[in-house]
Chains A and B, each alone.
Chain A
Amino acid sequence: MTQFLLQTIWLIPCYTIVGAIASIVWSPALIRRTGTRPAGYVNLGMTFLAFIHSLAAFPLAWQHPAQQLSVSWFQVAGLEFTLPLEISALTIGASLVVTGLNLLAQVYAIGYLEMDWGWSRFFALLALFEAGMCSLAFCNSLLFGYMILEILTLGTYLMVGTWFNQSLVVTGARDAFLTKRVGDLFLLMGVLAIYPLAGTWNFDELAQWAETATINPEIATLVGLALLAGPMGKCAQFPLHLWLDEAMEGPVPSTILRNSVVVATGAWVLIKLEPLLALSPVVLTTIITIGSLTAVGGTLIAIAQIDIKRSLSYSVSAYMGLVFIAVGTGQTDAALLLVLSHALAQALLVMSTGSIVLNSITQDLTQLGGLWSRRPISGLCYLVGVAGLISLPPFGGFWALLKLADGLWATQPWLVALLLLVNGLTAFSLMREFGLIFAGSPKPMTQRSPENFWLVTLPMMVLMGLTLHLPLILQSLALLPSWATLNQDMALLLIWSSLIGGGIGAVVYVGQGIPKPIQLPWQRLQTFFAFDLYTPQLYRSSIVFCVDWASRLTDWFDRKIIDGAVNLVGLVSLFSGEALKYSNSGQGQFYMLTITLGLAAIALSMSWSLVLQLMF
């Protein structure tokens, strides 16, 4: 039984694929009479099955060595494509998180999309995401990881573009696809370049190879940078971060999944690639730089947003930046812990704000307010999410950040200061959002805002329970760092940064002493962050401008020069026909002259040698 459950672990992605295919049946084009709701129920059932399978398999794999499974895909010309699967506690745990969060997000979606007809498409895509992420968790090959990332990129495009009759959705889906695609294509370059060097795409073998590899440092740097670009786009890191902001146009239930796990797919690949990236110090420095910039920039932008969903999405970028820092300093365990705690807390935050948006319609923070007394559940869930995300003991985020800070202190102390800053700013940003939504007096949009019905509230509360229990779960799995060996000063510093950040946020926004909206004395700085560092303009004036003009120029060249050259041949023959027809003058005598001249010419050419002899 034990072996059976572990050996059939590959079924986990398949369940949801079956659900995805099945839900197409209920699309409004096919079933015209009975509606699309069964699509949601079927997918929920399939996800539940996958969750139960993961849950049952997890204890069996716990504290057992990882098992390998491999499926031969195809062989061609000496190149063998096998899909290696790794069955270990870590991969099953990842699939447990994915399926669990997807289960909750689907229940939430059944409630949230009550008034929507597009269940079939929505749930099929959600199932595709789940299948993709589970297979990414199990798949132990860089090549197949890349393939799955690409499929997920397509999934993101379709998912963000769910309500495609809205113009902002269309542009958002476009940007999400193209930005992630660019990163993926660089990743493909890296994937292709690593094969001749290492001779394998298997993550384990790559790590083994990297231990003893002696390659040209420039090559290592270039390959490392290419491998870094994929996760950079996936994790919405600077400067490929705009897509996540625009992807907030998608439906909230998919946002739960995206903010918590989908962006973490990039981090997962990055963590797996850490031994390779460590070959080049330049790459590590780049990772840390990108992560630090994104972490600080993302939190500052998040503070300046007035849209609930966008404010949270920049927090996601910032936390993925922290994961980058963790990977850049070689702390993969801390990175994994951070991904886990961030996934639960962030999903809870998105669920809570989504539940506010569902009943208050507006997403504008300046139009919300005074919901605490009437929306206690959502408010509590939000607060627990905040506690789980920032460094507040005993919740999950604290342990992850503490582990990270502890590891950083020995090597790069300045990163600890950055961590404290990001933690404090995130606390401030989240408390600001809390204050604007729940504190103060009700605004016109929130005069009458009832708590949501059970389908929305139940998954939220279950997730709140999970977030609260995360430390206990980690402790029972012996994943928490022991208190004795940890740097307790560091813990105090982290707690202080959370308390100061959150405290200032609470004083400014929960307390009513300061008039809103708050204007900074430096208005330019405020708009600079509110418009996410003018990234759209930056894109439009750099990359988009260049590509646009290059394509216009190419198009012009194609139309005028290439087509023109070919058309010129036709024109020349047309023109020569038109011009040469005048040689048919209609004069009989002219024809006779032509005949005579022709004969004379032929005679001359035939007797040319004779003529030459006569002349000399």
Chain B
Amino acid sequence: MESSEEAAVEKCRIHLRPGTLRDAPPATLHLLPCEVLVNRPTPVQCFFTPAIRQGPDGLEVSFRGRRLRGEEVVVPPSLVGYVMEEKGEVLVGKDPSVGSSNDDEPEQQELVEPPEALERDFDRFFGATGSFSRFTLWGLETIPGPDARVRGALAWPRLAAAVSRRMSPH
């Protein structure tokens, strides 16, 4: 049982719907200098966004009583940022860790997609639900500044292009 599940994992393809890339509405993003250990909807617009102030040298806000200082990071024009979500059918009810709380969920709609050669029954599906070309980078007490690691990461694609550029044979 376990080994056949493993095999399915390696065979699996996660399809990304190309159409969602051009229709994705702009998303507002903040990178916080702390770990919030949950993934869930949260009223950012009620508590966080209205508290942002333009200080003498950057943005200021507080989160859980701590002062944050921040600045806008503009993504290089060669890159597009996307918020991607995986939506899919999940079998529930058999495995207790997936959630007995979902036991009473009615059977919902099937994914209505035309069958394509590259798509198989056990595959999964992703779509972009938002796009961004900038985000707000926050630091605790101080502005993260030009040395912020995330800025270095944004420079990576240009180097990767050099490493992977194909050469024509002589």
Q: Do A and B originate from a single complex?
A: no
| B residues at A contact (CB < 8 Å) | none
